[in-house]
Structure 1
Amino acid sequence: MNRPAIPDQDALRRVGASVRARLADDPKVYTVPTDIAELFAVGDFLTQAECRRLISMIDQVAQPSKLYEGEYGEDFRTSYSGNLDRTDPFVRGIARRIDDLLGVDGETGEAIQGQRYLPGQQFKPHNDWFYPDQDYWPMERKNGGQRAWTAMAFLNEVEAGGATHFTEIGINIEPRPGVLLVWNNALPDGAPNEGTMHAGTPVEKGVKYVITRWYRTRRWG
């Protein structure tokens, strides 16, 4: 029996192989030991001054976070978020550094999104890749295709809670200012990887700030 075609599978396989090789050759990159997903970390990717500046920018654009209508329940994602101005020279510089780390064309990167979590706010377990059987997929396919890689940086210490929990891998990563997490949303063969399921656990005390840049298989937008 023929299996249904996986959208963008060849592109995801090619991008995965390229980024994987680049990260493996970078001594600053730590590989999280797991066979479930390709997950990497870079310490001190952002300086304290850069983190503070990004936090200020997030506060200026943050609005209640959105999801595709009908995709999840009302309390699924309760944070605030907003896209940073991609024409701002400082934001462009941060984006370029992430692009260079991964060795990918910046045209495939979405605008950097800032997220702010207040006490009690969370993002329940989810994957970053798109589900092709959903109504939104035709639009996203035209908008750059499937999400290949995710890059997410912590900007501040959180007094309690707010870890990033990779549910299938079984690890909690506590927020540490300047640390960048990077993961492949696909398997080596280009199929979506269920093992990348992750959550922003509820903040118990304090505020949590992060930035995220997602990369598509083609030019975004």
Structure 2
Amino acid sequence: MDKDGNKRQTVKGQKVNNITASAWISWHILPLAALGVLITAYLWSRSSGATSAVTATCLATPPNSQVKILSLDPFIAHITDFVSESERKYLIDIGKPLLSSSTTLDDSGNQASSSYRTSSSAFLPPTDPCVSRIVHRAADFQGYLSPSDINIQLTAYQPGQQYKHHYDWFSAPANSPTTPLPRNTISTFFAILHATCHACGTEFPFLNTTNRHRYDERWCYVIDCDKPVLTTRNVEGSALFWINLDAQGRGREDTLHSGLPANGGEKIGLNVWTDFEVNEVWDRGLFGGSLKPPA
């Protein structure tokens, strides 16, 4: 009897102790666990960008780019998927807070606002890993140039804004117009990050593309085949690449181009400029070694 009674008492005591322990866990451990779940959810949302100012993640996977030559002289190429979707979203996120009214160089060489260029723009930090990746991609595309010679600028066009016909190269001094500058913008990439406007591509008025689509209608996917001059379509992720200088290192007048007005929507693009020592252009043989002027 005593053994059975003691046994029953022990079991009853264990049950009481278990109930007490369960109550203690309910009052003390479970709230902590719930708090842990909330903290985990909060940290996850932070890492995924839900509560962060920069909501996009720049993935390291390079895009699968393809290149089509639009013009041999001047050299102009269209590059599909030059900037991946995640890169586009990330660059817009970091660039938008930096935007300010775009400027141009006036006759005295100073930055000034102009009715020629009504967009907003911002140079992106070269130390940012995503920006650096684009810089290296542009440098490698051009034959392993130095990334330090490349600048990246985000540019945004709101409805009606534009950049009228202009050059990306710098003019020689008026007293020596035929002498190449020691340093100039050898090339330009212009990539489309986002676009909702229509008939708002990049136009090259000196380049005739009237018959291009008659040879292959696939061109009409990247250029406006209704226009008599080269006018690109805004394909997100794609880029246009062109050479700004001639074989003597002087600016090419046939690279005149414009960012057409953003009709009925907006356009966000990426300027990638390579400013280069002209002597290094010749030393690298980019225009052919035999074309280097005699010392």
TM-score greater than 0.5 by the shorter chain: yes
**1:167 equivalent in structure 2:** 205
**1:39 equivalent in structure 2:** 76
Following superposition of structure 1 onto structure 2, how do residues 136-147 of structure 1 map, counting pairs within 5 Å? 145-147=183-185
Which of 143, 162, 171 is equivalent to 1:122? Answer: 162
**2:86 equivalent in structure 1:** 49
**2:117 equivalent in structure 1:** 77
Does the CA contact (< 8 Å) of 1:58 and 1:116 recur in 2?
A: no
Distance (whole Å) between structure 1 residues aligned to residue 88 and residue 200 of structure 2: 17
Distance (whole Å) between structure 2 residues aligned to residue 148 and residue 185 of structure 1: 5
Percent pairwise identity: 28
- Runs ≥4 in structure 1, deviation > 4 angstroms? 70-73
Coordinate RMSD, CA, aligned = 2.4
**2:100 equivalent in structure 1:** 63
Please tell me the residue identity of whatever aligns with 1:160: H
Superposed CA offset, 1:96-127 (max 9, x none): 11111112111221x21000000110000001
Does the CA contact (< 8 Å) of 2:246 and 2:252 recur in 1?
A: yes
Distance (whole Å) between structure 2 residues aligned to residue 87 and residue 77 of structure 1: 28
Please tell me the residue identity of whatever aligns with 1:125: H
Q: 1:101 to 1:34 in 2, by over 3 A?
A: closer
**Given the alignment of the two structures, is residue 93 of structure 1 paired with residue 130 of structure 2, yes or no?**
no
Does the CA contact (< 8 Å) of 2:103 and 2:113 recur in 1?
A: no
Please tell me the residue identity of whatever aligns with 1:164: T
Shift of 1:34: 5.3
**1:179 equivalent in structure 2:** 238
Structure 1 residue runs without a partner (length 5+): 1-26, 136-140
Q: What SS class does the counterpart of residue 78 from structure 2 fall into?
A: strand
Please tell me the residue identity of whatever aligns with 1:105: S
Structure 2 residue runs without a partner (length 5+): 1-64, 176-180, 208-228, 279-295
Distance (whole Å) between structure 2 residues aligned to residue 176 and residue 123 of structure 1: 19
Q: What SS class does the counterpart of residue 177 from structure 1 fall into?
A: coil
Q: Which structure has the larger Rg over C-alpha atoms? A: 2
**Given the alignment of the two structures, is residue 28 of structure 1 paired with residue 28 of structure 2, yes or no?**
no
Distance (whole Å) between structure 1 residues aligned to residue 255 and residue 81 of structure 2: 23
Distance (whole Å) between structure 1 residues aligned to residue 249 and residue 233 of structure 2: 29
Distance (whole Å) between structure 1 residues aligned to residue 273 and residue 202 of structure 2: 16
Does the CA contact (< 8 Å) of 1:161 and 1:205 recur in 2?
A: no
Q: 1:184 to 1:54 in 2, by over 3 A?
A: same
Aligned residues: 185
Please tell me the residue identity of whatever aligns with 1:40: A
Distance (whole Å) between structure 1 residues aligned to residue 135 and residue 71 of structure 2: 27
Q: Which has the higher contact order (CA 8 A, sep 6+)?
A: 1
**1:5 equivalent in structure 2:** none
* TM-score, length of structure 1 as denominator length: 0.76
Superposed CA offset, 1:41-63 (max 9, x none): 11011111211111222211110
* TM-score, length of structure 2 as denominator length: 0.58
Distance (whole Å) between structure 2 residues aligned to residue 52 and residue 182 of structure 1: 21
Shift of 1:159: 3.0
Shift of 1:150: 0.8
**1:211 equivalent in structure 2:** 270
Q: 1:181 to 1:165 in 2, by over 3 A?
A: same
Does the CA contact (< 8 Å) of 2:122 and 2:154 recur in 1?
A: yes
Please tell me the residue identity of whatever aligns with 1:163: G
Distance (whole Å) between structure 2 residues aligned to residue 134 and residue 113 of structure 1: 28
Looking at secondary structure, tell me which structure has more helix per residue. Answer: 2
